[in-house]
Amino acid sequence: METLESELTCPICLELFEDPLLLPCAHSLCFNCAHRILVSHCASSETIDSIAAFQCPTCRYVISLNHRGLEGLKRNVTLQNIIDRFQKASLSGSNSPSECRRERAPRTPVTMSCERVQCQFCEQEPAREAVKTCVTCEVSYCDRCLRATHPNKKPFTGHRLVEPIPDSHLRGLMCLEHENEKVNMYCVTDDQLICALCKLVGRHREHQVSSLSERYDKLKTSQTLEANLTNLVKRNSELESQMGRLIQICQQVEVNTALQEAKLKKECDELMDIIRQRKQVIAVKIKEGKVSPLSFIIPSLIAQSKATSVIVAMATASSQVLIPDINLNEAFENFALDFSREKRLLEGLDYLTAPNPPSIREELCTASHDTVTVHWTSEDEFSVGSYELQYTIFTGQANFISLYNSVDSWMIVPNIKQNHYTVHGLQTGTRYIFIVKAINQAGSRNSEPARLKTNSQPFKIDPRTAHKKLKLSNDGLAMEREENSLKKSHTPERFSSQGSYGAMGNVYIDSGCHYWEVLLGSCTWYAVGVAYKSAPKNEWNGKNSSSWVFSRCNNSFSVRHNSKELGVEASLQLRRLGVLLDYDTNSLGFYDAMNAQHLHTFNISFVLPVSPTFTIWNRSLIILSGLPVPDPLDCTEQQDCICRPQGESPYVSGLKLNQ
């Protein structure tokens, strides 16, 4: 029912429509509210009959009046019938919209004043004490008079009843700027109570407003001392819990240290046992090498002693008894112990630790509109088993620890063996945070985070949108006026305005930060900017609410939107126009790219994707798209690293601007 009630509420008085008028723009308005609008437009010496037009408060459409004035407008009979049925249905229960409005109305505490409020309808003396005050009627009622003179039925269903309020306080609910107008809105921008005329024609017409009941609910539910105390107690509990975890960590470190020391002693003892075993084996081999030559010499000496007595007689036989010379090396010259390999292994014996954190080399990183190549180095690369690359979109969070702990938002590339990696499929014109983790068997360590970003979205001129008297060249990056161009078929998306020749880019942007430049040459009549797809193609860009442009007309520069122009100071030598579109922060900036001079910035509440748009009246222009945002213009994140673009900047060869 509340949703239906909001559809039946007048945008001026914020009450149910009463005698609604049907405006030509299809919106409705109370007759009395429309009359108040005309009164607000009258000068002191004018009459209401002299007012010939006024704006619809909902859509700003200009309503023209004939000689009959407001009486010449049609009554919205259907809407009035719906309101009558709605009010009858609301009387069937206590949960009716009017009752809900009464319940939501700000109740003035009894303690705000010691003044006794008397009923203003009682005939007896003294009058009975009031139980309710009607803010709409500005009258206080006792319980009996309220039931008798102010029943909950038409026309009183839309009135607001509050706790009894003295006359002095009731007068305080009147508007300070418009006489005899009741306060019925709250200006959020100025933190002030206002009336409907303040919003419609006063100084609050461009401000954000809310209803009194909504503001009352926000104040009622704002933080109180009890809530703050609860938060402090909760914070203290969290700190105590964190201290407990730190103590547990310290204790665990002590236990782990003792375990590691015991493990180290065990490993060293095992190494010593191996060394002792090898010592025994090698000693046995040396002893065997000593005995082996003697086993050949001793038998020979025995044979020589036996043959001494008959040496002469047995000369011939002795030659047969003597064994040939054996190649024996008593100095062990061909026997050596090689401990070089073991020495190297023992010298390299150390406690295995996690590798040092790698360092991301931002000056070596490159980017395109949808890829980033990350390079890094590591001091102890030989001890790294593999690398892991983590990245996520940078949202501007100052507390990096909380961002890192949000695991769900991070993309992870594991088991990288090289010191560089290219990430594909990224969003254009978007900042990312990258972290490299070095990993081995002992653990891992992270690099410092690096903030890198992709380049702007590259685009060309969409030939389907180009005016039939425009000639496109250089692969859709240049356009020039050509009266004798080939006849093109007319389509709804093609520009067709007389005297101005426009075209749009072949992309629609709905996120990220993008930068492109326009080479103007000697063109002195042009308009450059962005537009929704729905922008009219039969009129100049900037002449409607769907396009925003920077324009030059001979020696005059201006910015234009919705037929409103604002002069801009710029050099007549402007030859290179930079355009910075930050869709996420709702801004569109124009710059003199040669002199790094800011010209103008639109603050836009984008509701649809936008496309670059270009219009010329003479000469030609060239587009450079897909560029990185220059450092002087990257004011939203001065610490961001702007990667070098992959390859050279777009270059136009063999093409000259018309002089």
CA angle 159, 164, 169 (to 5 degrees): 90
pLDDT at 109 over 90: no
Q: What is the pLDDT of residues 346-371, one digit of tens each?
A: 666 666 778 999 999 999 999 998 99
Buried b (16+ CB within 10 A) or exposed e, 337-367: eeeeeeeeeeeeeeeeebbebbebebeebbb
Q: Which two tokens stand for residue 280?
A: 């025994």
Residue carrying structure tokens 């080399």: 361
Burial class (CB in 10 A: 0-12, 13-18, 19+), 108: middle
pLDDT at 503 over 90: yes
CA angle 86, 88, 92 (to 5 degrees): 110
- pLDDT for the residue 382: 83
End-to-end CA distance of the chain: 68
Q: How far is Cα 612 from Cα 582, in angstroms, rounded to an integer?
A: 13
Q: Which two tokens stand for residue 283?
A: 């000693």
Q: Are strands 525-532 and 443-446 parallel, antiparallel or unpaired?
A: unpaired
Confidence class for position 638, pLDDT limits 50, 70, 90: very low
Q: How far is Cα 1 from Cα 95, in angstroms, rounded to an integer?
A: 9
Buried b (16+ CB within 10 A) or exposed e, 239-268: eeeeeeeeeeeeeeeeeeeeeeeeeeeeee
Confidence class for position 107, pLDDT limits 50, 70, 90: very low
Residue 385 CA neighbour count, 13 Å, CB half: 12
- pLDDT for the residue 329: 53
Q: What is the pLDDT of residues 583-625, one digit of tens each?
A: 989 999 999 999 889 999 999 999 999 999 999 998 899 999 9
CA angle 525, 529, 535 (to 5 degrees): 105
Strand (E) or helix (H) holding 290? helix 225-306
Contacts of 365 (CB under 8 A, 6+ apart): 372, 373, 374, 375, 450, 452, 641, 643, 644
- pLDDT for the residue 92: 60
Directed axis angle between helix 97-104 and helix 77-90, to 10°?
A: 70
Range 442-464 average pLDDT? 91
Query: For residue 128, how many other CB atoms are within 10 A of its CB?
Result: 15
Residue type, 486: L
Instruction: Report which of residues 642 and 251 the model is more confident about.
Output: 251
Q: How far is Cα 536 from Cα 600, in angstroms, rounded to an integer?
A: 24
Q: Which of 241-250, 329-338, 512-521, 610-619 has the lowest mean pLDDT?
A: 329-338
pLDDT at 553 over 90: yes
- pLDDT for the residue 491: 83
- CA torsion angle 216 221 222 225 (round to 10): 130
